[in-house]
């Protein structure tokens, strides 16, 4: 039982890292959103599996939130938003895909080394879960750093948050209240960002962050 | 007795150098020098080889030469004997080639005296056993090779190459001097035996490692200390280029192994990382430079940098394994490094000989002006083809066997306990795999542009096959490359004593294995059999070819080139060397070379030609050497003031210096 | 007795791959035609083509050298030896220890080396294009292959294909995300190396993006037949490699009874046909890439391989 439990948890967490890489590889907004939906689905599976093997019913709620909000509602809403705003559908990257993915590779290696050192005392499952979670968080940050488009930055931020949830699910016994509050904060962040996007669009006719910098007077 | 034979052989080579000066006017001078050089290096080769194969105990000898209170110490152990074999095999081949090629040289009297002296210098480095004699022979070797680089002193590029080489060689010797100073410690024991016995502290050890990497690595052509190599190696006459690129770089590898593995004592695990990173960078950068170069000899020089990278990666692995106590794996990695050094010496000499033959036949080294030589120079083409297949590390030739061993060593890396190494080594492995296939691309380009296709210039279309001595030298080396690939076990077994003395174990004995296959660790893990693979390939191609010729058609009709109906008779419209590397340039160029392409279209209606320009920047030169040169120039400018002082000021400077030295002395104790 | 049986298995394997190779090409072509709602040529058409080509005269360019004439045989025999060393229906081949997975990859590299040289021999621009692009694709595919070898060697403790296959059927494998990644990257490398859509188009002659067809443009008659056969053999080799490494079920282990060999053979043929089907479906569904998208494609494969290696280090047992 333990072998299979570990293998499946490992498989799902590994898939989450992989999907983060897929998000780095995308060059269209729609496909990025679809990949994000996949990311959330994998997170749902992963958390549900943790709930099953830890026998923790409250984790099922987390999993449900992940599925309903992150895999369905938010992608659909963002889809609509893109259509409504008429946002340019290609993602403009700061660096090329190849170097970005190499950097991502380095980040994954870094997070593995750090976590395996730092959490040497913890049990195997929690340790590898934490390592993967850190990798997902760093990759999310990388997406935010290397993308010019505001929508893709939002997606990067949400994938980062998925990493947090993964870490929380792996480290047994995160109270449901904290969990709920995290989920709601994300929702609120999403709404705020959405409103901002509309406002920005109304004002400046674009959501390209470079254009925003220009209006702030940082770049001539 | 062997020691005496070796040293007298070296002395005879030095004498030969003097004789070459004396008889420089004679008609037979070339025959005399290269013939006698051939015999002497064969003698050294046989003595060294017998010592290695018989697994004889180390021999030592001291002579009352050099500094009076130290004397000159010499020692012949398995490691020295192996490198004596490499050096003298290369030297013998170069002398054989020189018998023919030396006749064509423009000013042979400028080359002849230095070749035996160069060979003697390299041999001397391998045999010395104290720091003073080592540095002396090292500097002698550098100096003589410098004289050979600047043979064609009227070409400003050669002068520049000689200048760069002299600078880098001085820097290298200086670094080695400091390294030996640290190793000798406060007691000032300059003998290698005393250094071996003494234990240095970890920080001093790390410093020595860094200095050795600078000192010997610059001679070997390790990135980023390689800048002189592609300038200097091609500038010399071809048989000397072959010696420098094929053999002198191995003397530098010897210095690294001698100091780091033998004298420095217990290694730290992160020392391996230094060699791994530098080696990986050299492998990739070397082959990329080679791919974007169109001068034949420069391509070969860059390819040497790549192969030195492979050797250093293997040495780094050996160091890491040894530090963590995995003796079997360390033995595998060290053997792979030595085997690759041997293979690369053979292949690189072969290719430089071929490039020399082509240069003599056509008067150019530029691949964009060659082509179609396979018809005019069939034997040379065949030998070079073997060299290209070999250096691209393709089975069943020799370099594949050694690179296969390196990959096997890489596959053992997960057993290392340090996470840094665990994650780094697979990445370096991927880098090496990339370098290997890029090398294949590079040598497809090298061979295809020079020997295949249609001649791109008048000179190439009326080339003649080269002389018999040169062909003999090339055929000999090509044969060795094939034999080394088919029977790698023999070489691996001969290397056993070296790894036993340096890392405490040797690879499993290969000669006892059935079918002469090679097994790095255990047969269940991995094995390779070059002989069997070769027999299979030969048999199946023979069967298929004869079956088709007997049972189906064997008729041939000659016709003009088809080329989808667009055939153009102008040979200038063939694919060129730079267009061949264009796809790879597009992948790696923008990041590693800041490559930019510029297309200038003439205005509409104009008949002027369109222009296409590619800009590549050598980032290492721009980011590392240019700033250093700038700083040196600034300091020199500041110091220039001291050129124009009065006598009184000079005197007061001397006085001040004296007083401050006395003050230091007073405060010291 | 042992020896004879081993020899028979090895010999049968060598013959099997060379006889089956044109069929694989035929099946893929037929399936692709059917998917496009065309009738398509018979699955036996490649055999007929080969026979026809063998009987024809060779038309050789005026300046073709000995290298041009001997290269097809060298390429074919190298590919054949490599294909014969991959376990198809049975492991424990007589000569499988003479080359491990790295050596098999390198043997294919030798074949590619000579093919690229042959493409440049006559001195045409099409041949040069083909050779140069082939070498670029190979240079990017090779590191991926090494990462896959690394993953497999780390898990199975060996680079011998028979040992890896025996490990992969054993229950010790478990469920590993790493293996999935290695599988996908091997698929990507296989597509690139065998010159299938989206990397290269095996069906056209005159397209500016072509690679393999450009190199063999000057060949005719028996030389072309041998090269075509070598191409089919390479496709079969990759299918067998994937089947042997990642779908090893049904593989006959050493010292099995005679009817086990029958099962092994049936399973092998079923696996190859499935592979053909998947390939045809994939090729029909996807469009050809621009040449300079290939580095990104293979870069993604390399990332998968590297990621797989990294994940392996944190998984159970390492």
pLDDT at residue A132, as a whole number: 86
- Candidates A55, A40, A57, A85; CA nearest to A183 is A40
What distance in Å separates the CA atoms of residue B600 and residue C29, rounded to the nearest whole number? 45
What distance in Å separates the CA atoms of residue A98 and residue A114, rounded to the nearest whole number? 24
SS3 B480: helix
Binned at pLDDT 50, 70 and 90, residue B669 comes out as: low
Binned at pLDDT 50, 70 and 90, residue A173 comes out as: low
Q: Tell me: pLDDT of B390 over 90.
A: yes
Q: Which residues are within 8 A (CB) of C250 and not within 5 positions of it... i.e. 6 or more apart?
A: C263, C264, C266, C267, C268, C270, C271
Q: Cis omega before residue C198 (within 30°)?
A: yes
The CB density around residue B474, as the number of other CB atoms within 10 Å, is 28
Maximum pairwise Cα distance, chain C: 63
Residue A88 tokens, joined = 């340019």
Q: Do C303 and A112 touch (CB under 8 A)?
A: no
pLDDT at residue C209, as a whole number: 61
Residue A70 tokens, joined = 């992150």
- Candidates A152, A187, A133, A177; CA nearest to A12 is A133
pLDDT at residue C290, as a whole number: 84
Q: Above pLDDT 90, what percent of chain A?
A: 5
Say if CB C314 and CB A111 are below 8 A apart. Answer: no
Binned at pLDDT 50, 70 and 90, residue C208 comes out as: low
What distance in Å separates the CA atoms of residue B155 and residue B167, rounded to the nearest whole number? 19
Digit-coded pLDDT (tens) for C211-259: 888 899 899 999 999 999 999 999 999 999 999 999 888 887 776 777 8
- Candidates C113, C106, C64; CA nearest to C85 is C106
Q: Do B444 and C97 touch (CB under 8 A)?
A: no
Q: Average pLDDT, stretch C166-186?
A: 84
Q: Average pLDDT, stretch A108-127?
A: 76
Residue C33 tokens, joined = 């035609």
What distance in Å separates the CA atoms of residue B38 and residue C27, rounded to the nearest whole number? 62
Say if CB C189 and CB C148 are below 8 A apart. Answer: yes
Q: Tell me: pLDDT of A1 over 50.
A: no
Position with higher pLDDT, A215 vs B465: B465
Q: Which residues are within 8 A (CB) of B248 and not within 5 positions of it... i.e. 6 or more apart?
A: B122, B141, B145, B219
Q: Tell me: pLDDT of B432 over 90.
A: yes
Digit-coded pLDDT (tens) for C81-99: 999 889 888 876 677 778 8
- List, in sequence order, every residue forming a beta bridge with B600; answer none if it has no partner: B611
Q: Do A117 and B591 touch (CB under 8 A)?
A: no
Q: Average pLDDT, stretch B320-348?
A: 94
Position with higher pLDDT, C121 vs B553: C121
Residues 88-127 of A with CB under 8 A from B: 99, 109, 112-113, 116-117
Binned at pLDDT 50, 70 and 90, residue A180 comes out as: low
Q: What is the count of structural domains for chain A?
A: 1
Query: pTM score, two decimals?
Result: 0.91
Say if CB C104 and CB B533 are below 8 A apart. Answer: no
CA dihedral B167, B169, B174, B180 (to 10 degrees): 170
Q: Above pLDDT 90, what percent of chain B?
A: 64
Q: Average pLDDT, stretch B396-412?
A: 94
Chain B residues with CB under 8 Å of A113 CB are 419-420, 423
Q: Do A7 and C178 touch (CB under 8 A)?
A: no
Domain hosting C112: range is 2-314
Shortest CA gap C307–chain A (Å): 7
Q: Tell me: pLDDT of C35 over 80.
A: yes
- Candidates B528, B535, B310, B270; CA nearest to B420 is B270
Q: Average pLDDT, stretch A104-122?
A: 79
pLDDT at residue C185, as a whole number: 93
Q: Do A18 and C300 touch (CB under 8 A)?
A: no
Digit-coded pLDDT (tens) for C253-299: 776 777 888 888 899 999 999 999 999 999 999 988 888 888 888 98
In the block, tokens 């530090």 appear at B323
DSSP letter for each residue of chain A: -HHHHHHHHHHHHHHHHHHHHHHHH--BHHHHHHHHHHHHHHHHHHHHHHHHHHT-HHHHHHHHHIIIIIIIIHHHHHHHHHHHHT--SBPPBSS-HHHHHHHHHHHHHHHHHHHHHHTTTS-HHHHHHHHHHHHHHHHHHHHHHHB-BHHHHHHHHHHHHHHHHHHHHHSS---HHHHHHHHHHHHHHHHHHHHHHHHHHHHHS--BHHHHHHHHTS--
Say if CB A23 and CB A143 are below 8 A apart. Answer: yes
SS3 B573: helix
Say if CB C229 and CB C21 are below 8 A apart. Answer: yes
Say if CB C78 and CB B534 are below 8 A apart. Answer: no
The CB density around residue A193, as the number of other CB atoms within 10 Å, is 19
Helices C125-156 and B398-411 pack at an angle, to 10 degrees, of 40
Interface residues of A toward C, Cβ cutoff 8 Å, are 3-4, 6-8, 10-11, 14-15, 17-18, 21, 25, 97-98, 101-102, 104-105, 108-109, 112, 116, 124, 127-128, 131-132
pLDDT at residue A220, as a whole number: 44
- Candidates B87, B57, B59, B86; CA nearest to B73 is B59
Digit-coded pLDDT (tens) for B440-487: 999 999 999 999 999 999 998 899 999 999 999 999 999 999 999 999
Binned at pLDDT 50, 70 and 90, residue B202 comes out as: confident
Q: What is the count of structural domains for chain C?
A: 1
A3 CB-contact burial (10 Å; exposed 0-12 / middle 13-18 / buried 19+): exposed
- Candidates B413, B424, B409, B352; CA nearest to B383 is B352
- Candidates B474, B271, B518; CA nearest to B356 is B474
Q: Do B563 and C157 touch (CB under 8 A)?
A: no
Q: Between vectors from CA C158 to CA C153 and to CA C159, what angle results, nearest 5°?
A: 75
pLDDT at residue B229, as a whole number: 93
Q: Return the DSSP state at C68.
A: H
Q: Do B423 and A113 touch (CB under 8 A)?
A: yes
Q: Tell me: pLDDT of A2 over 70.
A: no
Q: Return the DSSP state at C292.
A: G
Q: Tell me: pLDDT of B613 over 60.
A: yes
pLDDT at residue A183, as a whole number: 66
Chain C residues with CB under 8 Å of B378 CB are 66
Chain B residues with CB under 8 Å of C158 CB are 524-526
DSSP letter for each residue of B337-358: HHHHHHHHHHHHHHHHHHHHHH
Domain hosting A102: range is 2-216
Find which of A4, A10, A116 to mutate to test the C interface (most C CBs within 10 Å of its CB): A10
Q: Which chains touch C (3 or more CB pairs under 8 A)?
A: A, B
Find which of A101, A107, A113, A127 to mutate to test the B interface (most B CBs within 10 Å of its CB): A113
pLDDT at residue A214, as a whole number: 64
Q: Tell me: pLDDT of A208 over 70.
A: no
Q: Average pLDDT, stretch B265-283?
A: 93
What distance in Å separates the CA atoms of residue B39 and residue B42, rounded to the nearest whole number? 5
End-to-end CA distance of chain A: 62
Per DSSP (E only), the strands in chain C are 58-61
Q: What does DSSP say about strands B556-559 and C58-61: parallel, antiparallel, or unpaired?
A: parallel
**φ/ψ (deg, to 5) at B416:** -70, 140
Q: Tell me: pLDDT of C47 over 90.
A: yes
Q: Tell me: pLDDT of C32 over 80.
A: yes
- List, in sequence order, every residue forming a beta bridge with C252; answer none if it has no partner: C90
Binned at pLDDT 50, 70 and 90, residue A121 comes out as: low
Q: Average pLDDT, stretch B515-537?
A: 85
Q: Tell me: pLDDT of B225 over 80.
A: yes
Q: Tell me: pLDDT of A160 over 70.
A: yes
Q: Which chains touch A (3 or more CB pairs under 8 A)?
A: B, C
Q: Average pLDDT, stretch B260-269?
A: 89
Residue B404 tokens, joined = 């296969």
Say if CB B280 and CB B308 are below 8 A apart. Answer: no
pLDDT at residue A169, as a whole number: 79
Q: Average pLDDT, stretch B152-158?
A: 88
pLDDT at residue A172, as a whole number: 64
Chain B residues with CB under 8 Å of A99 CB are 591
What distance in Å separates the CA atoms of residue A207 and residue B424, rounded to the nearest whole number? 40
What distance in Å separates the CA atoms of residue C264 and residue C258, rounded to the nearest whole number? 10
Digit-coded pLDDT (tens) for C105-119: 999 999 999 999 999
ipTM of the complex: 0.94
What distance in Å separates the CA atoms of residue B359 and residue B357, rounded to the nearest whole number? 5
Binned at pLDDT 50, 70 and 90, residue A219 comes out as: very low
Cβ-based contacts under 8 A for chains A and B: 9
Q: State the Rg of chain B over Cα.
A: 26
Chain A residues with CB under 8 Å of B423 CB are 109, 112-113
Residue A74 tokens, joined = 């938010």
Q: Average pLDDT, stretch B545-574?
A: 85
């Amino acid at each position: 039982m333990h072998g299979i439990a570990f293998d499946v948890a490992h498989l799902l967490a590994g898939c989450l890292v992989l999907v983060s890489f897929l998000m780095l590889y995308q060059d269209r907004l729609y496909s990025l959103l679809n990949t994000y939906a996949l990311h959330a689905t994998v997170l749902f599976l992963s958390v549900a599996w943790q709930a099953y093997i830890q026998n923790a019913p409250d984790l099922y709620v987390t999993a449900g939130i992940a599925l309903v909000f992150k895999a369905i509602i938010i992608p659909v809403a963002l889809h609509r938003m893109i259509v409504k705003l008429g946002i340019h559908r290609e993602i403009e990257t700061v660096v090329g895909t190849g170097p970005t993915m190499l950097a991502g590779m380095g980040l994954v290696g870094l997070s593995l080394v750090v976590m395996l050192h730092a959490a040497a005392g913890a049990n195997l499952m929690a340790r590898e879960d934490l390592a993967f979670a850190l990798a997902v968080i760093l990759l999310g940050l990388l997406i935010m750093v290397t993308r010019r488009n505001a929508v893709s930055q939002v997606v990067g931020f949400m994938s980062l948050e998925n990493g947090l949830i993964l870490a929380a699910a792996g480290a047994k016994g995160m109270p449901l209240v904290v969990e709920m509050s995290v989920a709601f904060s994300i929702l609120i962040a999403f709404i705020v960002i959405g409103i901002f996007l509309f406002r920005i669009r109304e004002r400046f006719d674009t959501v390209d962050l470079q254009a925003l910098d220009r209006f702030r007077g940082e770049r001539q | 007795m062997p020691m005496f034979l070796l040293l007298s052989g070296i002395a005879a080579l030095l004498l030969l150098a003097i004789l070459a000066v004396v008889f420089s006017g004679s008609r037979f001078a070339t025959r005399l020098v290269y013939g006698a050089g051939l015999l002497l290096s064969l003698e050294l080769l046989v003595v060294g080889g017998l010592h290695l194969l018989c697994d004889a105990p180390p021999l030592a000898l001291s002579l009352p030469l050099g500094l009076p209170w130290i004397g000159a110490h010499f020692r012949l152990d398995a490691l020295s004997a192996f490198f004596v074999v490499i050096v003298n095999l290369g030297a013998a081949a170069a002398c054989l080639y020189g018998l023919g090629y030396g006749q064509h040289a423009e000013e042979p009297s400028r080359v002849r005296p230095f070749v035996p002296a160069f060979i003697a210098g390299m041999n001397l480095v391998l045999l010395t056993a104290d720091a003073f004699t080592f540095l002396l022979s090292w500097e002698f070797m550098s100096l003589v090779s410098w004289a050979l680089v600047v043979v064609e002193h009227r070409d400003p590029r050669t002068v520049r190459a000689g200048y760069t080489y002299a600078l880098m060689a001085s820097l290298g010797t200086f670094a080695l001097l400091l390294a030996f100073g640290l190793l000798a410690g406060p007691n000032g024991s300059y003998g290698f035996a005393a250094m071996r016995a003494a234990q240095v502290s970890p920080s001093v050890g790390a410093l020595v490692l860094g200095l050795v990497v600078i000192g010997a690595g610059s001679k070997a052509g390790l990135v980023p200390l390689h800048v002189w190599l592609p300038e200097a190696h091609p500038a010399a006459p071809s048989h000397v280029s072959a010696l420098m690129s094929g053999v002198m770089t191995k003397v530098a590898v010897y210095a690294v192994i001698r100091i780091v593995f033998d004298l420095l004592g217990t290694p730290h695990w992160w020392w391996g990382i230094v060699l791994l990173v530098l080696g990986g960078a050299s492998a990739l950068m070397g082959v990329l430079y080679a791919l974007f170069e169109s001068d034949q000899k420069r391509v070969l020089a860059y390819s040497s940098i790549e192969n030195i990278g492979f050797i250093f990666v293997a040495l780094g692995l050996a160091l890491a394994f040894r530090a963590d106590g995995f003796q079997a794996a360390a033995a595998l990695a060290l053997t792979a490094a030595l085997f690759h050094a041997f293979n690369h010496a053979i292949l690189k000499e072969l290719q430089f000989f071929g490039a020399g033959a082509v240069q003599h036949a056509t008067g150019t080294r530029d691949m964009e002006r060659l082509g179609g030589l396979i018809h005019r120079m069939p034997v040379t083409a065949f030998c070079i083809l073997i060299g290209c297949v070999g250096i691209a590390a393709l089975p069943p030739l020799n370099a594949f066997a050694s690179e296969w061993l390196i990959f096997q060593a890489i596959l053992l890396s997960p057993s290392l306990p340090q996470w840094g190494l665990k994650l780094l080594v697979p990445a370096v492995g991927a880098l090496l795999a990339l370098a290997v296939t890029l090398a294949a691309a590079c040598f497809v380009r090298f061979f295809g542009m020079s020997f295949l296709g249609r001649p791109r210039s008048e000179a190439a279309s009326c080339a003649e096959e080269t002389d018999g001595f040169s062909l003999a030298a090339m055929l000999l080396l090509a044969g060795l490359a094939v034999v080394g690939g088919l029977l790698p076990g023999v070489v691996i077994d001969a290397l056993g004593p070296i790894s036993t003395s340096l890392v405490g174990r040797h690879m499993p004995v290969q000669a006892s294995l059935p079918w002469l296959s090679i097994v790095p660790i255990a047969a269940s893990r991995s094995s390779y059999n070059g002989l069997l693979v070769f027999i299979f390939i030969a048999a199946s191609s023979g069967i298929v070819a004869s079956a088709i010729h007997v049972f189906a058609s064997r008729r041939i009709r000659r016709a003009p080139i088809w080329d989808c109906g667009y055939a153009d008779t102008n040979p200038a419209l063939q694919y060129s060397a730079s267009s061949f590397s264009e796809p790879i340039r597009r992948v790696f160029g923008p990041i590693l070379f800041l490559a930019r392409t510029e297309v200038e279209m003439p205005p509409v209606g104009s008949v002027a030609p369109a222009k296409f320009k590619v800009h590549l920047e050598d980032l290492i030169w721009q980011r590392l050497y240019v700033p250093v040169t700038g700083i040196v120039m600034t300091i020199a400018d500041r110091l220039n003031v001291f050129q124009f002082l009065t006598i009184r000021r000079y005197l007061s400077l001397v006085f001040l210096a004296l007083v401050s030295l006395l003050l230091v002395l007073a405060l010291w104790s | 007795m042992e020896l004879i049986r081993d020899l028979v298995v090895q010999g049968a394997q060598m013959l099997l791959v060379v006889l089956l190779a044109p069929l694989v090409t035929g099946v893929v072509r037929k399936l692709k035609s059917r998917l496009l709602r065309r009738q398509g040529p018979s699955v036996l058409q490649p055999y007929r083509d080969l026979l026809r080509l063998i009987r024809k005269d060779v038309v050789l360019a005026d300046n073709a050298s000995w290298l041009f004439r001997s290269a097809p045989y060298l390429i074919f025999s190298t590919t054949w030896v490599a294909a014969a060393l991959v376990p198809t229906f049975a492991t424990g081949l007589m000569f499988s220890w003479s080359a491990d997975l790295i050596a098999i990859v390198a043997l294919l590299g030798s074949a590619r080396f000579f093919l690229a040289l042959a493409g440049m021999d006559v001195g045409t621009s099409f041949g040069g294009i083909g050779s140069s692009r082939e070498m670029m694709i190979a240079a990017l595919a090779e590191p991926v292959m090494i990462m896959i070898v690394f993953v497999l060697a780390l898990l199975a403790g060996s680079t011998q294909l028979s040992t890896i296959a025996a490990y992969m059927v054993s229950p010790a494998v478990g469920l590993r995300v790493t293996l999935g990644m290695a599988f996908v990257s091997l698929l990507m490398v296989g597509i690139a190396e065998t010159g299938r859509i989206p990397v290269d188009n095996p069906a056209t002659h005159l397209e500016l993006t072509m690679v393999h067809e450009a190199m063999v443009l000057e060949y005719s008659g028996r030389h072309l037949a041998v090269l075509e056969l070598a191409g089919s053999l390479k496709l079969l080799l990759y299918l067998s490699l994937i089947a042997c490494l990642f779908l090893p079920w049904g593989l006959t282990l050493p010292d099995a009874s005679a009817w086990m060999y029958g099962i092994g053979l049936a399973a092998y043929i079923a696996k190859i046909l499935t592979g053909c089907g998947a390939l045809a479906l994939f090729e029909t569904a996807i469009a050809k890439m621009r040449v300079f998208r290939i580095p990104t494609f293979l870069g993604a494969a390399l990332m998968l391989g590297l990621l797989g290696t990294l994940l392996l280090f944190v998984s159970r047992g390492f």
